[in-house]
Amino acid sequence: MIDFHTWTTPNGRKVAIMLEETGLKYTVHTIHIGQGEQHDLEFLKLSPNNKIPAIRDNETGIQMMESGAILMYLAEKTGQFMPTDERARWATIEWLMFQMGGVGPFMGQVHHFTKYNSGVSEYSEERYLNEAKRLYRVMDKRLADNEWLNGHSYSIADIAVWPWAARHDWQTIDLNDFPNVARWYVAMCERPAVQKGWNIPPTDQKIPMPT
């Protein structure tokens, strides 16, 4: 059984989707980040960086923060969503790192400035939205020739990126401008584990669909 500490955000949803996809048994512990619960001392023991998601695997005693590391751990534990072929495995890690170093941090800033603090800093809104658009172009090119980001099969790289693309409405991004991303996005929306993972913890938010 895995203890899963999370909230209704893209980084939390990556792990929720992975847990649903793998069929692992888990218990959800909500950390309401808007109410500062990420700073509770008990949570800090699990996540020294004060951020969700974090897990404790009661089978191995391993506990961990950082969503990318957690996805790799769960992939290794279950032998799922990380190809064993050497090239495909490294391509998966490559695109997972693209998410961790680019998509997450920069799109997170778009949410901060464009969605929540619009009008505070025109420079920041423009800078981060331009970078987000550039990242969507990179993905669109990749997905023009590949069904999945690693060029091989559905993997933790797709699971890591999708929850960020699922905020395209917050980012003022029209997915129709990125038709290959839109095709990939809709294919993922059809997966039951993605739909379930979106709703962990339960939320009244709906998965935004391209119009």
Ligand X SMILES: N[C@@H](CCC(=O)N[C@@H](CS)C(=O)NCC(=O)O)C(=O)O
Positions that interact with ligand X (CB under 6 A) = 9-11, 33, 38, 50-53, 66-68, 104
Q: Please, which residue, 16 or 91, has the CB nearer to ligand X? A: 16
Q: Please, which residue, 22 or 38, has the CB nearer to ligand X? A: 38
Q: How far is the CB of 164 from ligand X (least distance, A)?
A: 10
Q: Please, which residue, 140 or 162, has the CB nearer to ligand X? A: 162
Q: Please, which residue, 71 or 182, has the CB nearer to ligand X? A: 71
For residues 65 and 48, what is the distance between their CA atoms, to the nearest angstrom? 8
Q: How far is the CB of 127 from ligand X (least distance, A)?
A: 19
CA 174 from chain centre, in angstroms, equals 19
For residues 209 and 83, what is the distance between their CA atoms, to the nearest angstrom? 29
Q: How far is the CB of 67 from ligand X (least distance, A)?
A: 4
Q: How far is the CB of 34 from ligand X (least distance, A)?
A: 9
Q: How far is the CB of 8 from ligand X (least distance, A)?
A: 9
**Helix locations, the chain, DSSP H:** 10-22, 41-46, 67-78, 86-98, 104-110, 122-145, 156-165, 179-189, 192-198
Q: Please, which residue, 147 or 170, has the CB nearer to ligand X? A: 170
Q: Which residue has the tokens 């003022």?
A: 172
Count of other CB atoms within 10 angstroms of residue 106 = 19
3-state secondary structure of 58: coil
Contact 62, 91 (CB under 8 A): no
Phi/psi for 183 (5° steps) reads -60, -45
Q: Please, which residue, 108 or 177, has the CB nearer to ligand X? A: 108
Q: How far is the CB of 31 from ligand X (least distance, A)?
A: 7
